[in-house]
Structure 1
C-alpha cells in the first residue's frame, strides 16, 4: 500500500518478518559458525533492497536493512571464515505479490503482472545455488529489472523517471 495509507503497525509487521526474523535466525546460527571457524549466510533480499518502489515502502526498508546488517556481519566475521551472499531477486514467479500486505494488514491475494511474467522459481533457485557455491558477495537475479541496479547507480535521475512511469501494481 501507499505510505500515507499504511498504519505503523503494518510497517512494524513487515519489518518483523522481513528483517528481524532473519536477524534472529542469524544470531542463533552465528555462535556455531564462529566455533567452527566456518559458515556462510545466504540472505534472500530483493532488488528493492537496493532501491525503493511505490507500494513497497516497508518491504523495501526491511530489505535495505538486511543489506546494512549483513555487510557489517561480513566485515566483523571475516577472520572467522564466515561469508555472506546477498541474494537480490527481481520478478520471480512466486506468490510473493499475493502475500504482500495491504494497508489494513491483510494479504493482497493478487498476482502482479510482473511476477506472473517473471523468472521461474526453479531457474532462480539454480542461480542462487551457483552464487552460493561461488561465494559471491551479492547477486542480482531476474530479467531486465536487474538493470535497475546499474541505472540507479549511474543515472539515478533517469531511473527515478522510469520508476515513476512503471506499473508496479
Structure 2
C-alpha cells in the first residue's frame, strides 16, 4: 500500500477509524470523510503519517454534492486507488411498527449514497484502468432476522448492485470487494434508528462481546489486499454459522433467527 491513495467514508469512528490507522501504518495516503470534521481531525492526528492524510468532510445524504467532493478528493493527491464505502446507520424495529420514512432514510444512507458515490468516481477508475471499490456490507446483507428489515434490505441491495458492477468492470482491472462483518465492537447499536427514527441509545450485549474494531480492520485489510470478492469479518460463532445455514438449511435458520437478535 506504500503511497497508494485510499479514501474512507465514515472514518470518524468505529471500523472506519480503525481502517484509517491500519492503512496509514502500511504507508498509504489517506482521504478521511464523514460529517464530523473535529473527529476526522482527531483521527488524522493519530494516524502513523498525518502529513499524508487529508480530511474531506462530507454528508452522505447530500448526494448532490458528490461530484464536487470527488473533484476535491482527486485534487488532494492526483488520483484515488481505493474507495472504502463505510458510512451508514443500523436500525432496530419491527416491520409492523417501523415508519416508512425510517425505511427510506436507511436505504438512502446505506445503499443509495454508496451507489451515487461509486458512479461519481467510476469514470476516474475507468480512465486509469485500475481501482478498487470496497463495500461495507454486513452479515445482515446475507440473512434476515427480526428487528432489522430496513438495514437488511439496504445491505442485501448492496450485494446485488456491486456484484453486477464487478461483472461489468473486472475486464478493466477494477476490483470490487464486499465485506460482511458480524458483531464488531463499535457504537453501531447506540446510533441505530428505531421505529420512529430516534436513536436506540443503548449498547448491544452481542456487539460488546464481538471482535474489536482494530482486529476487524486488520482482517479487512488482508481481504482487500487479496482482492477477495467477499469476506466474512468476525469471530467464529453464531454469525458465521448463520451464513452457512442460510445456504444449506434456510428453513432451520428461520427457526433459529430470533436467537440472532441483539440483546
Task: With the length of structure 2 as denominator, give the TM-score of the two structures.
Answer: 0.63
- Structure 1 segments, 4+ long, off by >6 Å, are none
Whether contact under 8 Å (1:2, 1:56) holds in the other structure is: yes
Give distance in 2, aligned partners of 1:166 and 1:28.
36
Give distance in 2, aligned partners of 1:29 and 1:100.
28
**How far has the Cα of 1:135 moved from its partner?**
0.2
Which of 153, 164, 171 is 1:79 aligned to?
Answer: 171
Equivalences for residues 33-48 of structure 1 within 5 A:
33-48=125-140
Which of 210, 214, 217 is 1:118 aligned to?
Answer: 210
Which of 244, 255, 263 is 1:150 aligned to?
Answer: 244
Higher relative contact order (CA 8 A, sep 6+): 1
Task: With the length of structure 1 as denominator, give the TM-score of the two structures.
Answer: 0.97
Q: Structure 2 unaligned runs (5+)?
A: 1-92
Give distance in 1, aligned partners of 2:233 and 2:97.
31
Whether contact under 8 Å (2:184, 2:211) holds in the other structure is: yes
Larger Rg: 2
* Cross-structure match for 1:57: 149
- 1:140 pairs with 2:260: no
Paired residues, what number?
Answer: 169
* Cross-structure match for 1:131: 223
Q: Which has the higher strand share?
A: 2
